[in-house]
Amino acid sequence: MANLSAKRLARLQSQRAGTVAALDIGCSKTTCLIGRPDGSGPRRIQILGAGRQQTRGYNGSGITDMDGLERTIRVAVEDAEREAGEPISEVILGVSGPQVVSCLVEAQIEPGGRPVTGRDVRRLHAQAIARVPQKNSDVLAAWPVVYTIDRAAGRVRQPVGMIANTLHVRMAVITAPRSIVRNLIECVGRAHLGITKLVPSSIASGLGTLIEDELENGTICIDMGAGITAVSVFLNGAPAWLGLVPAGGQHVTADLAQGLGTTFAAAERIKTMFGTADLEGPGLAERVEAARLGDDGRLHATRTERGEIARIIAPRIEETFELVAQLLETSDVRKVLPHRVVLTGGASQLPGIREVASRYLRAPVRLGRPVIAEFLGEALATPAFSTASGLILYPELGFADAARAGVASTEDTAGSGTLVNTALRWLKENF
């Protein structure tokens, strides 16, 4: 305890049992949610407090200003603690960025005609994870997508206890650059917080948005954030793949600022109030207020047709979904892609975007909001808070993340583990 700061020690002594906290660091906003499961089901959670701050010092690809991001985290967490009326000492952290990548790996062991044990499954997971190149990268998560016994046609969800000559697994493994993970852990630690889990943000968005039927039967979840559009695929009740497109709501705003000759802040307001991606929708001839920069460098009130705004927005949205379609066509799961799509994230609220997505992806599309919307309140029950919702639900949903077991087994055989696990252990020991 001698190494603990006074503030950290007070938090550890005051935190109530059962409290869960999530921290979502996005390109535009940082959100902290504090909640407590009510015990009646995996998606029943009482939200005690929430804090939101504009993100400073993080651009999606990594930290650009450690002090700025630390202040952002501190204020968001303190706001949530104030509303909840209790402190937190640990968070579930979402990790995002264009360098977070996914791959499907396979492995097989031979139990030799006896019942499969939990140790067999852990050994199988370790073999699968060991096949992933980890140079300068850390494994964030690993989820078994499907098991096969004796190469039979049937797919197995849980093989423990089943008699098998051979046991095969196909596993989704998510990795991120070691430098990004290390710096995020350091920054959160400087805010006097430990990290209980690291979860890919795009996967959290799906978990926060998809209903049980969509998780079980397969769905593509597209999280349209400010700087990145994240695509995740769920199969057989588990995350199976993720990919990222470097385009988001901020790119639409930048296009408007350039096209209309205005400031970024004014363009964001125009997009929010009058923007649409539908070039054939009603009201495009309506003239609306759209301030533009004059010769003196100041904003001047002008009016423009909504159709002009739409003609600037639509090409960027179309390009985004064209890139999403290409990404899915080259993915590891292209042969088994689900035929339904859920859109979420702040940028997904733009009118007309669902129709564009359906046209490019050739699938039915719905706009998803957090499945725990009834607990979030009106201000938070929007697609913009899907990731934070998924993070706080993650422990309750019970996904079998094999990353820690795999790393432990790898350490036993190879004498080394990934830096992320070492860092997490260091934080727990020293804070």
Nearest to 28 by CA among 182, 223, 185: 223
- Chain segment 293-304, per-residue pLDDT in tens: 999 999 999 999
Instruction: Please report, for the domain that includes residue 289, its CATH number.
Output: 3.30.420.40
- Chain segment 106-133, per-residue pLDDT in tens: 999 999 999 999 999 999 999 999 888 8
Q: What domain range is 276 assigned to?
A: 249-313
Asked if residue 236 is part of any domain, the answer here is no
Distances (CA, A) of 262 to 19, 54, 124, 310: 45, 22, 57, 16
pLDDT at 413: 32
End position of a domain, from candidates 125, 146, 178: 178
**Alpha-carbon span 33 to 84, nearest angstrom:** 9
- Chain segment 327-379, per-residue pLDDT in tens: 999 998 998 899 999 999 989 999 999 999 999 999 999 999 898 888 888 88
pLDDT band at 404 (very low <50, low <70, confident <90, very high): low
Asked if residue 361 is part of any domain, the answer here is no
Structure tokens that stand for 266 in this block: 């004014």
User: Which region holds residue 235: left if phi is over 0, alpha if psi is between -120 and 50, else beta?
Assistant: beta
The number of folded domains in the chain is 2
- Chain segment 302-332, per-residue pLDDT in tens: 999 999 999 999 999 999 999 999 999 999 8
pLDDT at 431: 45
Asked if residue 1 is part of any domain, the answer here is no
**Alpha-carbon span 394 to 413, nearest angstrom:** 30
Residue ranges with strand state E in 307-426:
341-344, 365-367
Residue type, 94: G
pLDDT band at 257 (very low <50, low <70, confident <90, very high): very high
- Chain segment 181-196, per-residue pLDDT in tens: 899 999 999 999 999 9
Asked if residue 400 is part of any domain, the answer here is no
pLDDT at 229: 93
Asked if residue 19 is part of any domain, the answer here is no
End position of a domain, from candidates 257, 292, 313: 313
Asked if residue 136 is part of any domain, the answer here is yes
Surface-to-core class of residue 279, CB atoms within 10 Å of its CB (0-12 exposed, 13-18 middle, 19+ buried): middle
Residue 305, H or E segment: strand 303-305
Asked if residue 370 is part of any domain, the answer here is no
Neighbouring residues of 288: CB distance < 8 A, sequence distance ≥ 6: 270, 273, 274, 303, 304, 305, 306, 309
Asked if residue 25 is part of any domain, the answer here is no
**Alpha-carbon span 354 to 341, nearest angstrom:** 10
**Alpha-carbon span 99 to 136, nearest angstrom:** 12
Neighbouring residues of 380: CB distance < 8 A, sequence distance ≥ 6: 33, 47, 50, 370, 388
Better-predicted residue by pLDDT, 410 or 372: 372
pLDDT at 236: 86
Contact between 311 and 295 (Cβ < 8 Å): no
End position of a domain, from candidates 263, 296, 313: 313
pLDDT at 180: 87
pLDDT at 101 over 80: yes
Instruction: Give me the percent of the chain exceeding a pLDDT of 70.
Output: 88
**Alpha-carbon span 391 to 370, nearest angstrom:** 11
**Alpha-carbon span 346 to 365, nearest angstrom:** 16
88-123 burial code (b ≥16 CB/10 A, e <16): bbbbbbbbbbeebbbeebebebebeeeebeeebbeb
pLDDT at 96: 82
Instruction: Please report, for the domain that includes residue 111, its CATH number.
Output: 3.30.1490.110
Mean pLDDT of 218-224: 94
Q: 148 phi and psi, to 5 degrees?
A: -135, 135
Q: What is the CA radius of gyration of the chain?
A: 23
**Alpha-carbon span 36 to 45, nearest angstrom:** 6
pLDDT at 16: 57
**Alpha-carbon span 387 to 233, nearest angstrom:** 15
pLDDT at 76: 95
**Average pLDDT of the chain, as a whole number:** 86
